[in-house]
Amino acid sequence: MRLFGNINRLWLRLTGTTAEFSLEVRIFHSLCLISILALAYNVPFNYLIGLPFISLLSLVTLLIFSVLYYLSRYRGKVKTTVTIFTIIGNLLFAINFKYNAGTYGPTDLLMGLCILLVLCVVPKRQQKFWIGLNMAIIISMHLVEYYYPNWVPNNYINRESRYWDLTSAYVVVVIVVYYTITYLRRNYDHEKRSASDKADAIEVQNHHITQQNHELERINSEKNKLMSIIAHDLRSPLSNIQNYLELVTEYELDTAERRMVEGDLLKVTRRTIDMLGKLLIWSKAQMDGVNVKLGYVNLRDALFNTIELEKAIALKKNISLTDKIDWDIRIVADSDMLQLVIRNLISNAIKFTQPGGQISFKAKQISGECWLIIRDNGIGMSAEKQAELFSLQAQSTFGTDNEKGVGLGLLLCKEFTEMQGGRIWVESTPDEGTAFFVSMPAGS
């Protein structure tokens, strides 16, 4: 096996690689090498069977073919050498016909082999010409021998040498035909496999591109819808401020009326600013990407202030926010991103919990993870709503105190949690409450 491998590598080096030459040129180089080997065999063989002139002719042809091979393989003069090779081949066999016993010798057999090999290397537009020339040479030689039999002498020294010559020529022809067809078939199969692989790769790529296009169209549609909702939601507080200013300009309001209107405007403005903040964070993440700085984070250092702030906000709505946390737990996270996620989840719980309700925040270690759980006894949600909760299914939502949003905060929570190597999911029952789970890698 090793010997055959070495022979194949040597043959590949001599004929050239697919990157260097086309299939036709590599076949021509193979033809030159085979012809050189066959002529190297014929030189001593013809001399031994009593055909010294044919032996000399074979030697001269061997030298010419060697030069042609060198010019094509190493000088790149392919077209010229193919033409010269074909002309010399036909001329050689015409001379061989006369000095190698005409129809009694192997020339007809060798001429058939010659045209087969020529058709493998010449351009398609030249094939009919070379077939016609080959047939014209053979037919002309046959006619000359038929009408002038003495013009083609029988140069065999005995009957045995003729049969050895014919047998030898037949063996050479069969071997050359076999290797030529095998070589063509192998290259055909290789090209077929390559074409099939390329077609499969293109099909997979096209399918992938189609999926990406559909996904981009879906996301673009949702973004357009989101912007439309946000634009509408921005219009509302601005219109309220405008109406208030017009009211103040035209009428005198007492202190109580003024405070009531200003209090409502303050609530609407705060919610709008909160929505704009989320939109800016999400837009920046989509356009510029987010630089995640993972490290070992202590829960107390990262979340204590956030929890205390959310407790104050919950208290304004008469909601109890309790925590049950081992503050010494360490996780692998980005501290700023973790704060944003937990703040959004608790704010969401406050939004959808009735006054007098309860919210709990727990943290516990499970195997190599730390679970952060925000649970409320608010209005809950249906399974259909849960299925699209963390996606860009833009639609206005209203909390228990008419707080308005578009679900952008939960989308940010999902994206930022996954960027930190964590997971987020939800469990909810309508009219009973909701629990958000955030799983983060535990620190050592």
Q: Give the C-alpha separation, 380 to 395, whole Å.
A: 17
Q: Which residue has the tokens 């010294």?
A: 52
Element (H, E) at 193: helix 159-250
- Strands 330-333 and 404-405 turn out to be unpaired
Give kind and range of the element (H or E) at residue 433: strand 433-441
Going from N- to C-terminal start, the domains of the chain cover: 1-205, 296-441
Tell me, what amino acid is at 437?
A: F
What per-residue confidence (pLDDT) applies to 281?
63
* Chain centroid, CA 77 distance in Å: 38
Supply angle C-alpha 63, 69, 70, rounded to 5: 90
Closest residue by Cα to residue 374 from 345, 399, 347: 345
- The Cα 68–Cα 332 span in angstroms is 71
User: What CATH topology corresponds to 296-441?
Assistant: Heat Shock Protein 90 (3.30.565)
> Nearest CA to 148 among 107, 98, 100?
98
Distance CA 420, CA 225 (A): 28
| CA distance linking residue 31 with residue 22, whole number of Å | 14
Cα 168 to chain centroid distance, Å, stands at 54
Go through 310-325 and write b for each residue having 16 or more CB atoms within 10 A of its CB, e for each that does not: bbeebeebebebebeb
Q: Which positions ≥6 away from 332 have C-beta within 8 Å?
A: 294, 295, 296, 297, 420, 421, 440, 441, 442, 443
Q: What is the pLDDT of residue 317?
A: 87
Question: If we measure between CA atoms, which residue out of 19, 257, 214, 217 comes closest to residue 265?
Answer: 257
φ and ψ at 361, to 5 degrees?
-125, 120
CB 36, CB 83: distance < 8 Å: no
In the block, tokens 């009326």 appear at 257
Residues whose CB falls within 8 Å of the CB of residue 172, separated by 6 or more in sequence, listed in order: 38, 41
Exposed e or buried b per residue across 360-392, where buried means at least 16 C-beta atoms within 10 angstroms of its C-beta: bbebeeeeeebebbbbbbbbbbeeeeeeebbeb
Structure tokens at 426: 């939800």
Query: According to the model, what pLDDT value does residue 372 have?
Result: 92
How much is the pLDDT for 283?
62
Cα torsion 418, 420, 422, 427: sign: negative
Q: What's residue 135's pLDDT?
A: 92
pLDDT at 279: 61
Decide the pairing of beta strands 320-325 and 358-366. Answer: parallel
pLDDT of residue 393: 61
Specify the amino acid at residue 265: L
pLDDT along the chain (444 residues), means of 10: 71 80 81 83 83 84 88 85 85 83 86 84 86 91 90 83 87 84 80 86 90 78 59 62 71 73 70 64 59 84 84 87 84 86 88 91 88 92 83 65 68 85 92 92 80
For position 286, what pLDDT does the model report?
54
CB of 88 within 8 A of CB of 137? no
Unique residue bearing structure tokens 């036709």: 24
Half-sphere CA count of 42, side-chain side, radius 13 A: 28
Which pLDDT value is given to residue 375? Answer: 94
SS3 content of the chain, % helix, strand, coil (to 5): 70, 10, 20
